[in-house]
């Protein structure tokens, strides 16, 4: 939980910036049925501030696994890599959806380290994604390569 106060106005700006979805797993708040957390990209414990540039939305699961981490091991190279920064990096550069839309695949060392560290393909979210895929609402259109958007 954040140690510093984040105003309602700043929360609203961050929520709009993130388009009401987790910056890491891209789960939309409306699918989760609960508000997303305000995540400090550079954690307060490491000197991060509660400014718009350092805040993004994260689902509780991703935020809990991230904790105060800013990097993790890439499982392919065993090298430390920075975690994905949803404010400054494009999701589609580092991640892609599996063919069935239920798993996030890492395209870069940062992507792979983030997937591993935040457990973006945990058993609970896979089950939820299956329902979202079956409803025809997943993966998000802007994350699909055929749309040409990011």
d(CA 120, CA 98): 13
d(CA 72, CA 70): 7
d(CA 66, CA 147): 30
Going by pLDDT thresholds of 50, 70 and 90, the confidence category of residue 146 is low
Calculate mean pLDDT across residues 20-47.
96
pTM: 0.91
pLDDT tens digits for range 70-112:
999 999 999 999 999 999 999 999 999 999 999 999 999 999 9
From 104, 150, 94, select the one nearest 126 (Cα to Cα): 104
The answer to whether the CB of 107 falls within 8 A of the CB of 79 is no
What is the SS3 assignment for 147? helix
The answer to whether the CB of 118 falls within 8 A of the CB of 25 is yes
Whether the CA torsion 87, 91, 94, 100 is positive or negative: it is: positive
- Residues near 9 by Cβ (< 8 Å), separated by ≥ 6? none
What is the SS3 assignment for 67? coil
Domain coordinates of the chain in residue numbers? 8-147
Calculate mean pLDDT across residues 56-81.
97
- Residues near 131 by Cβ (< 8 Å), separated by ≥ 6? none
């Amino acid at each position: 939980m954040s140690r510093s106060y984040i105003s309602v106005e700043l929360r609203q700006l961050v929520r709009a910036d993130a388009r009401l979805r987790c910056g890491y797993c891209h789960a939309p708040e409306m699918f989760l049925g609960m508000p997303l957390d305000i995540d400090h990209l550079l954690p307060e414990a490491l000197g991060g501030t509660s400014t718009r540039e350092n805040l993004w939305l994260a689902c509780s699961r991703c935020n809990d696994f991230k904790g105060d981490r800013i990097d993790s091991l890439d499982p392919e190279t065993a090298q430390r890599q920075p975690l994905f920064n949803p404010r400054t990096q494009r999701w589609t550069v580092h991640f892609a959806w599996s063919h069935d839309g239920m798993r996030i695949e890492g395209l870069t060392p940062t992507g792979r380290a983030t997937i591993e560290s935040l457990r973006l393909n945990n058993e609970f979210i896979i089950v939820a994604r299956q329902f979202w895929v079956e409803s025809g609402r997943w993966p998000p259109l802007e994350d699909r390569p055929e749309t040409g958007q990011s």
